[in-house]
C-alpha cells in the first residue's frame, strides 16, 4: 500500500507546540520562514524534525508498504500546494498527525482528502484520545502511542532510523545556541516517551502514559554515522523528552559516542537531576557542549503543584554546577502556570535574571493546561464551577495560549 504521512499546513496567529519536541507543531505564521526547501536554514532558526511520522514511515516500510513523509508545515506549503503534492503522489492512504490547537483544521483537511481525492484517511496524535468522539465517521483514528499500534509490542526494535531525505538539512535548533553549534546539525531521538509525571505534559498523559522505550544503541550509532557520511553532519541534538533518563542508559550512550562518534559535537534535552554529576562530566568529555534543561519554575510551591519531582534549591544548585562544568545552557521555563500567584511568578523571574547575568539563556512562554493532562483536568473542574462550561466545548483553538483561555488562567491564578 502507498501511505502518505502528513504534517499538514496550519496557519494562525500563534506559534505553539502542542506537546513535546519533534511532535506536531500546531500553527505557523505564513511569514515565519522563507521557502527554502532542502536548504540549510539561517542562524537562530528553529525547525523540529517530525520524529513520530518519520519513525512510523520506517515501521510501515518494514512491513512492505511504500511511504512518503510530507512535512507541509515546515516546508511552508500553502493548502493548495499541499493538496497538489498529495494528489500527485497518489497515496492509497493518508495518516495525519494532529494537535490540540489544529484539530478543527486537521479534520477539514482529512475530509477534503477523503471527499475530493477518494483516499482513506487516518488521524493520530496527542489530541485523538480527548477528541475521538468528535472525529467524523469515515475518518479512522489511532489513539495513544501510534508507533506501538503500527509496529506491535516490540515496535522499538523496528526503529532502526527515521525516514529522512535531503530535507533533513532544514531541521535544526540554532535558535538556542547559534553562536556555538557546528553546522549542519542532526536531530535524533534516543528514546521514546518519559517516565516522569509533570502535570502539564500532553504526550505524557495522552500518548505514552508514563512509559519509556529505549532505542538500541547500535541503531542510534548507525543513524548518526549514515547522516555524517551522506549529509556531512557536524553536530547532533539528542532531542528526547529526557535524554539522561538514568545513569546507566546515559553512560551507554557516552560509551558508544567515545568509541564510534568521537569528534562530533553534541547537545541534549535533559533534566538536571536524573543522572549524576559524574555522568554529566562524562557527557562533557565525550563532546556534549550544550544542554536544554526542563526547569518550568524555580518556585518551590509551584514545582510541587506540577509534579516536577524537584526541589528548587537543589535544582538551582545543579544548574550552577553544570554551568561551572563548562556547559552552555538553555532553560525551558513557563509563566502563568495553573494556580501560580504573582509572587510565585516573581520568585522565578528573579532567579532567571540572575542566571541571565552569567550568560545562561532561557525561554518563558505561558503555560497551557492542555486537555487530557492532569493539569488540564484540574483546570476544567474549576471552569465548570466558575463558568458552567469548559474551553474544549466551544473551541479547541483557544488552547494556543492566548485570548479567552489565558484570561481564565489568570483569573484562576488570582483566585477569582
Q: Is 251 a member of any domain?
A: yes
Instruction: Provide the β-strand partners of residue 123.
Output: 96, 141
Kindly state whether residues 239 and 350 are assigned to the same domain.
yes
| Of residues 403 and 230, more confidently modeled | 230
Give me the number of domains the chain comprises: 2
The Cα–Cα gap between 103 and 101 comes to 6
Kindly state whether residues 188 and 148 are assigned to the same domain.
no
Q: Give me the half-sphere count of Cα atoms (radius 13 Å) on the Cβ side of residue 10.
A: 30
Torsion, Cα of 27, 30, 31, 37 (10° steps): 90
Over the chain, what is the mean pLDDT?
A: 88
The pLDDT value recorded for residue 181 is 93
DSSP 286: H
Q: Is 162 a member of any domain?
A: no
pLDDT, one tens digit per residue, over 309-331 is 989 999 999 999 999 999 999 99
The pLDDT value recorded for residue 26 is 42
- Please compute the mean of the pLDDT values over residues 393-412 and round it to a whole number: 70
The pLDDT value recorded for residue 17 is 36
| Domain enclosing residue 205, as ranges | 182-367
Q: Give me the half-sphere count of Cα atoms (radius 13 Å) on the Cβ side of residue 15.
A: 11
Q: Which of 30, 49, 308, 359 is nearest to 180 (CA)?
A: 359
Q: Is 146 a member of any domain?
A: yes
The Cα–Cα gap between 267 and 290 comes to 5
Kindly state whether residues 84 and 190 are assigned to the same domain.
no
Kindly state whether residues 194 and 132 are assigned to the same domain.
no
State yes or no: pLDDT of 304 exceeds 50.
Answer: yes
Q: Where are the alpha helices (DSSP H) in 270-358?
A: 277-286, 300-305, 312-324, 342-358
Kindly state whether residues 103 and 190 are assigned to the same domain.
no
The pLDDT value recorded for residue 29 is 39
- Please compute the mean of the pLDDT values over residues 268-297 and round it to a whole number: 97
The pLDDT value recorded for residue 366 is 82
Percent of the chain with pLDDT over 70: 88
Kindly state whether residues 122 and 200 are assigned to the same domain.
no
Q: Is 391 a member of any domain?
A: no
The pLDDT value recorded for residue 210 is 93
The pLDDT value recorded for residue 34 is 53
Contact 69, 24 (CB under 8 A): no
The pLDDT value recorded for residue 170 is 83
pTM of the model: 0.93
Report the DSSP pairing between strands 191-193 and 93-98.
unpaired
| Of residues 331 and 36, more confidently modeled | 331
Kindly state whether residues 62 and 139 are assigned to the same domain.
yes
> Which helix H or strand E contains 378, and what residues bound it?
helix 374-387
Q: Is 379 a member of any domain?
A: no
Q: Is 38 exposed, middle or buried (0-12, 13-18, 19+ CB in 10 A)?
A: exposed
pLDDT, one tens digit per residue, over 198-228 is 999 989 999 999 999 999 999 999 999 999 9
The Cα–Cα gap between 223 and 323 comes to 30
Can you point out the beta strands (E) in 37-151? 46-47, 66-71, 93-98, 121-125, 139-141
Q: Is 201 a member of any domain?
A: yes
The pLDDT value recorded for residue 415 is 65
| Of residues 75 and 119, more confidently modeled | 119
Percent of the chain with pLDDT over 90: 68
Contact 373, 202 (CB under 8 A): yes
Kindly state whether residues 89 and 201 are assigned to the same domain.
no
- Please compute the mean of the pLDDT values over residues 377-404 and round it to a whole number: 73
pLDDT band at 272 (very low <50, low <70, confident <90, very high): very high
Contact 171, 47 (CB under 8 A): yes
CATH number assigned to the domain comprising residue 65: 3.40.50.2300
State yes or no: pLDDT of 407 exceeds 50.
Answer: yes
Cell of 367: 503555560
The pLDDT value recorded for residue 360 is 97
Kindly state whether residues 84 and 191 are assigned to the same domain.
no
pLDDT band at 41 (very low <50, low <70, confident <90, very high): low
Distance of CA 226 to the CA centre of its chain: 24
Kindly state whether residues 199 and 346 are assigned to the same domain.
yes
Kindly state whether residues 140 and 273 are assigned to the same domain.
no
State yes or no: pLDDT of 190 exceeds 50.
Answer: yes
Q: Give me the half-sphere count of Cα atoms (radius 13 Å) on the Cβ side of residue 194.
A: 27
- Please compute the mean of the pLDDT values over residues 108-128 and round it to a whole number: 96
The pLDDT value recorded for residue 153 is 93
Amino acid at each position: 500500500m502507498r501511505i502518505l504521512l502528513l504534517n499538514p499546513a496550519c496557519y494562525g496567529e500563534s506559534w505553539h507546540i502542542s506537546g513535546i519536541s519533534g511532535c506536531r507543531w500546531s500553527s505557523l505564521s505564513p511569514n515565519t520562514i522563507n521557502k527554502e526547501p532542502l536548504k540549510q536554514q539561517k542562524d537562530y532558526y528553529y525547525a523540529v524534525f517530525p520524529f513520530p511520522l518519520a519513525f512510523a514511515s520506517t515501521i510501515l516500510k518494514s512491513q512492505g508498504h511504500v511511504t512518503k513523509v510530507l512535512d507541509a508545515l515546515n516546508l511552508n506549503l500553502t493548502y493548495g500546494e499541499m493538496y497538489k503534492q498529495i494528489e500527485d503522489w497518489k497515496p492509497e492512504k493518508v495518516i495525519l498527525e494532529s494537535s490540540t490547537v489544529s484539530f478543527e483544521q486537521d479534520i477539514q483537511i482529512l475530509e477534503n482528502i477523503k471527499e475530493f481525492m477518494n483516499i482513506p484517511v487516518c488521524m493520530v496524535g496527542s489530541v485523538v484520545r480527548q477528541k475521538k468522539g468528535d472525529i467524523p465517521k469515515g475518518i479512522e483514528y489511532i489513539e495513544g502511542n501510534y508507533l506501538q499500534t503500527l509496529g506491535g509490542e516490540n515496535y522499538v526494535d523496528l526503529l532502526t532510523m527515521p525516514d529522512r531525505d535531503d530535507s533533513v538539512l532544514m531541521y535544526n535548533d540554532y535558535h538556542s545556541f547559534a553562536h556555538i553549534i557546528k553546522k549542519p546539525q542532526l536531530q535524533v531521538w534516543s528514546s521514546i516517551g518519559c517516565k516522569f509525571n509533570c502535570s502539564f505534559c500532553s504526550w505524557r498523559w495522552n500518548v505514552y502514559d508514563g512509559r519509556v522505550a529505549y532505542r538500541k544503541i547500535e541503531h542510534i550509532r548507525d543513524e548518526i554515522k549514515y547522516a555524517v557520511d551522506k549529509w556531512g553532519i557536524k553536530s547532533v541534538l539528542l532531542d528526547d523528552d529526557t535524554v539522561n533518563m538514568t545513569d546507566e542508559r546515559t553512560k551507554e550512550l557516552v560509551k558508544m559516542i567515545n568509541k564510534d562518534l568521537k569528534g562530533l559535537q553534541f547537545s541534549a534535552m535533559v533534566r538536571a537531576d536524573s543522572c549524576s554529576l559524574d555522568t554529566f562530566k562524562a557527557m562533557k568529555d565525550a563532546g556534549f557542549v550544550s544542554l536544554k534543561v526542563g526547569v518550568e519554575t524555580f518556585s518551590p510551591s509551584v514545582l510541587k503543584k506540577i509534579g516536577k519531582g524537584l526541589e528548587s534549591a537543589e535544582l538551582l544548585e545543579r544548574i550552577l554546577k553544570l554551568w561551572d562544568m563548562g556547559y552552555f545552557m538553555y532553560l525551558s521555563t513557563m509563566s502563568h502556570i495553573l494556580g501560580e500567584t504573582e509572587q510565585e511568578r516573581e520568585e522565578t523571574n528573579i532567579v532567571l535574571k540572575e542566571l541571565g547575568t552569567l550568560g545562561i539563556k532561557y525561554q518563558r512562554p505561558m503555560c497551557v493546561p492542555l486537555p487530557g493532562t492532569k493539569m488540564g483536568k484540574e483546570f476544567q473542574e474549576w471552569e465548570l464551577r466558575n463558568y458552567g462550561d469548559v474551553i474544549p466545548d466551544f473551541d479547541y483553538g483557544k488552547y494556543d495560549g492566548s485570548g479567552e483561555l489565558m484570561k481564565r488562567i489568570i483569573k484562576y491564578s488570582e483566585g477569582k
